[in-house]
Structure formats: C-alpha cells, structure tokens
Amino acid sequence: MLKGKHIILGITGSIAAYKAAYIIRALVKKGAEVQVVITPAGKEFITPITLSALSSNPVISEFFSNRDGSWHSHVDLGLWADAMLIAPATASTIGKMANGIADNMLVTTYLSCKAPVFIAPAMDLDMFAHPTTQQNLDRLRSFGNHIIEPAEGELASHLVGKGRMEEPDKIVATLETFFDESMTLKDKKILITAGPTYEKIDPVRFIGNYSSGKMGYALAEACAARGAEVFLVSGPVSLQAKHPSIHRISIESAEEMYQCAMDVFPSVDAAILCAAVADYRPEMTSAEKIKRESTGEMTLKLVPNKDIAASLGQIKMADQILVGFALETSDEVHHATDKLKRKNLDFIVLNSLRDQGAGFRCDTNKISILDQEGTLTEYPLKSKQEVAVDIINKLVSRLK
Ligand code: CTP
C-alpha cells in the first residue's frame, strides 16, 4: 500500500525521536520514499546522519544552507508529499501547528502540505493531559489531521501514564490502512450505539449498569478515522467524541435510544450496537422524589424495553450490515449464536466476563467474532482501540 508513496517524516525534540529511525526503516522496506524534516530540537535527540542514511535522502532542517545560500522550498515539499507524518510530535510543535507559528522548516512544511497529515504525540502524561495540549489537538483534528493517540505506559520521566508515542509498527500500519482502498470506509455512514441507558425511577434515581462506553467510542473514532460519517447514539458517559466526523446524539433511556436508532438506521450502511441497553424499566416513574418515610417497604415493578438490535434486524435492507455484541458469563457461544439469529445480525462480537481484562470499565477487551456462516474467530487480549480495528476490518469485508 505504501509502494511509491512520498512521505514527509517530521521529527521533533522528544526522547521518542530514536523511534523515528524504525519508522523510516519500515516505510522504506514497504517501498515508500521518505523525506525527513527535523526541528532544531529534534537534532539534539537523533543525528541527521542516521536519518539520512536510513532514508537515502538528505535531511532537511534549516530554511537555508549556510554554505552555498541555497534554500529549501517548503512549498515544493508540501506538494511532493502523499502524506506527512509528524512522529514524535512534541507539545510545542503541536501548539505551533495548531496556531500557525511557522518559525521552523517543519511547521512551514506542514502549513504548505496539501496531503493528509498524521500526528503521533509524545510527551509526559501531565503535558498530554493539559487542557492546552488537548485543545491544540482538538484544533488539529478539526482541520482534518489524523491524531495517532499515544499509548499508556512508562514514560521517559519514569512516570506511568498516557503520552508514550505509539509504537513504530502501529504508526506505519495506520498509514498503510489509510492508503489501502479496500480498507476504507470513505462515503459510508455508520450508526453506533454506546454506553449504558438510565431508566428513571424518580427525578433523582435510575436503574443503570456499569458500561463505560469505551468500546463504542473507540469504534466511533476508528470508523471516523477510516473516513466514515458516524452517528453515535450515546447513553450517559464521561467520554467525548473527538473526530469531527462523529455526530454524537446523547440520550438517556432505552426508549430514547430506540427512537434515535430507528430514525437514523434507514440512512446508514451499517450499525454497530455496542450499548448496554437496560432490558427493563420501571413501569411507573414518579414525578416527585420517592420518600422513605411515606413509602416504607417498596416493590418496583419492571416492564421490558424494546430490543433495539432485533427491531433494526427486522427492517434491515439487503445491503445493510448489522453488528451486535454479546457479553456473557457462561455458555458463551451458545448464547451468542442464539442472539445472532434472533436479532438477524450479520455478525456478533462476543466477550465473556470470565476472561480477565474483558468487558465493562476495562481499557482492554478479549473478543471472538461469530458470523452468520458460523465462523468463530478468536482474538487475543488487546486494547479497546485495537479491538475496534479488528471489528472494523471484519465490517469492511462484509460491506464489500
Ligand atoms: N440490545 C439492544 N436492545 C436491547 C437489548 C440489547 O439493541 N434492548 C443489543 C445490544 O446492544 C447488543 C445485543 O443486543 O448488541 C445483545 O445484548 P444483550 O444484552 O447481550 O442481549 P439480550 O437480548 O438483552 O439478552 P440477555 O440480556 O438476556 O443476555
């Protein structure tokens, strides 16, 4: 996918700059031509000799050559590129890019670049979490730049948290997927349900569940990153949708989620039903706060909610794909097979609460995918972001 592609690799002043050497090697191995542009601070961390030897191209850093007065054209470079990748991207460079502070060759090249831009941040956890950095990243996202989220782990400071630049093989895989026409979701519309639903008992109490929404939001980001327009119908969660192509529709109850999903579904190519929908709601909702003194012992009568997945399965058109989830505690494959059929799903993502690191509130998940043809594919324990990619790869193959 990268054969013959022209890639500008921007390197900035971070400890992770050494990983840029691995990125160049992988890109060159896959047939890409790499032109390195490095900031003055970047050269403190890795030498241009290493980078030029690996890329077989002189490294560009300054606007002018001191020796002969020749100058590098950031405009030509920007036009030459099929993609620009900034890895590692420091908080400072991210800030300059977001605000057009073009005081070095890297940022001027970025501003001249018409090709898609990928940014792999690398910094300490507090710098990454700082509202300034997050706002700058949001701004870059809103310009259509692709942010390759940093991973969690040990940082150069020996603190542990989010801020470690993503591993070189994953960064290169992101570019490969982007250029792989067969993996794209461009021009596709995807409905995703995510999070829990809250079923109201009275103005201050509800029946809910432990769903954090992390899996659904990871799916939404991954679909949007592949070029899809995403309609994210979300129950109450503390997460935010970042990609500008995600339209978040916030709901609270299963009934609201049902109405929303039914409205949106006819206009989408696929729906992924990731929400932990409450199966029951209180038959009556009290308009006033229920008082202990006057109520005494209390019995709550529950009535079933509509099954959103099954309802969409009934109205599904031949060219639409419907994906469900099954979180089970026992007899997993049997229950998943039953749900697949009952809800008319194309495939179902199964996770078992018996597997450590799977299910609610975790950052990881261990899934199996069971499709209509009866094929069961098992995946190892992965981050929810990586799981989202596996699910979307399966979706893309069905959408063709
Ligand atoms: N689902 C839904 N609407 C509901 C209940 C579930 O859309 N009212 C969807 C979930 O989002 C998931 C799939 O159906 O994709 C399976 O959900 P699950 O709760 O495991 O299935 P249920 O049919 O509710 O079965 P049970 O709770 O008895 O296991």
Contacts of 122 (CB under 8 A, 6+ apart): 14, 15, 16, 87, 88, 89, 90, 150, 163, 164, 165
Average pLDDT on 78-104 reads 96
What's the pLDDT at 67?
A: 65
Find tokens 């900035």 and name the residue.
12
Atom of ligand 1 nearest to the CA of 276: 11
Rg (CA), the chain: 24
Considering only CA atoms, which residue is closest to atom 20 of ligand 1? 326
> b/e map of 281-299 (b: 16 or more CB within 10 Å)?
bbeeeeeeeeeeeeeeeee
Minimal CA–CA distance to 399: which of 232, 224, 196, 190? 190
Contacts of 284 (CB under 8 A, 6+ apart): 301
Tell me if 343 is assigned to a ligand binding site. Answer: yes
Residue to substitute in 210, 256, 339 for testing ligand 1 pocket (most ligand atoms within 8 angstroms of CB): 339
**CA 396, 397, 400: angle at the middle one, nearest 5?**
85
Averaged confidence pLDDT in the chain: 93
Tell me if 200 is assigned to a ligand binding site. Answer: no
Atom of ligand 1 nearest to the CA of 348: 15
Cβ burial, residue 308 (10 Å; 0-12/13-18/19+): buried
Return the higher-pLDDT residue of 253 and 151: 253
The pTM assigned to this predicted structure is: 0.87
What's the pLDDT at 363?
A: 79
> How confident is residue 69, by pLDDT bands cut at 50, 70 and 90?
low
What's the pLDDT at 66?
A: 64
What's the pLDDT at 329?
A: 87
Average pLDDT on 125-139 reads 95
Minimal CA–CA distance to 60: which of 74, 50, 46? 74
Minimal CA–CA distance to 312: which of 346, 261, 268? 261
Per-residue pLDDT tens over the stretch 300-331: 999 999 999 999 999 999 999 999 999 888 89
Cβ burial, residue 253 (10 Å; 0-12/13-18/19+): buried
Per-residue pLDDT tens over the stretch 217-266: 999 999 999 999 999 999 999 999 989 899 999 999 999 999 999 999 99
What's the pLDDT at 65?
A: 67
Per-residue pLDDT tens over the stretch 348-374: 999 887 777 777 777 788 899 999 999
In the reported structure, the alpha carbon of residue 193 is separated from the centroid of ligand 1 by a whole-number distance in angstroms of 12
Ligand 1 near 327 CB (within 6 A): yes
> b/e map of 192-223 (b: 16 or more CB within 10 Å)?
bbbbbbbbebeeebbbbbebbbbbbbbbbbbb
**Is pLDDT of 347 > 70?**
yes
Q: Which residues, listed in sequence order, are joined to residue 36 by a DSSP beta bridge?
A: 9
Considering only CA atoms, which residue is closest to atom 12 of ligand 1? 325
